[in-house]
Amino acid sequence: MEPAKIVARFLQGGIIKGYTQNFFPDQPLFHVRPVAPEVSDDLIEVQMKDLKAIFFVRDFLGNRLYKEEKTLSRGAKIPGRRVEITFRDKEMMIGSVMDYDPKRPGFFLFPTDPYSNNLKVFVVSLTVDKVTYLCS
């Protein structure tokens, strides 16, 4: 399995950018090899209970000036159902979900914008305040 580029966002506000090969949504922990050598050259154990979300990214830099599209272009098709996620810290995200069940440890959110730096986001269910289904 090829390593996935991720940005793990913690509940307390910190982040780790790096690569993982053993992330599984139903497991309580996984490991990250940090991209920043000043953090560590070793694998870092990450506990799911400490996370807000895991962003699977195209690249680690992203583009702070890029404004993601939150609406679908005319005729665009998306997998699953469009939703607006409101986290407990009031941050909001829009995308689509294939299978949302609040009783599960988390779920994948797929960005509406095909040019987003995020390929998908694993949202930790306990950090979500509200999920609103949107019209496509």
pLDDT at 33: 94
Q: Cα–Cα distances in Å, from 108 out to 16, 35, 36, 72?
A: 19, 23, 26, 19
Evaluate if pTM is beyond 0.95.
Answer: no
Residue 72 pLDDT level (bands cut at 50, 70, 90): low
Alpha-helical (H) ranges within 3-110 are none
For residue range 5-48, list pLDDT tens digits in order.
999 999 999 999 999 999 999 999 999 999 976 666 789 999 99
Reported as a pLDDT band with limits 50, 70 and 90, residue 53 is: very high
**Per-residue confidence (pLDDT) for residue 136, from 0 to 100:** 61
Cα–Cα distance between 78 and 65 in angstroms, integer?
25
Given a contact cutoff of 8 angstroms between Cβ atoms, the answer to whether 7 and 37 are in contact is no
Task: Specify the DSSP class assigned to residue 37.
Answer: T
Q: Each residue of 79-124: pLDDT tens digit? A: 789 999 999 999 999 999 998 999 999 999 999 888 899 999 999 9
Domain extents in the chain = 1-136
> How far from chain centre, in Å, is Cα 136?
21
Averaged over 50-72, what is the pLDDT? 88
Q: What was the pLDDT predicted at 40? A: 62
CA dist list (Å): 46 to 15, 36, 63? 11, 16, 26
The yes-or-no verdict on residue 128 having pLDDT over 80 is yes
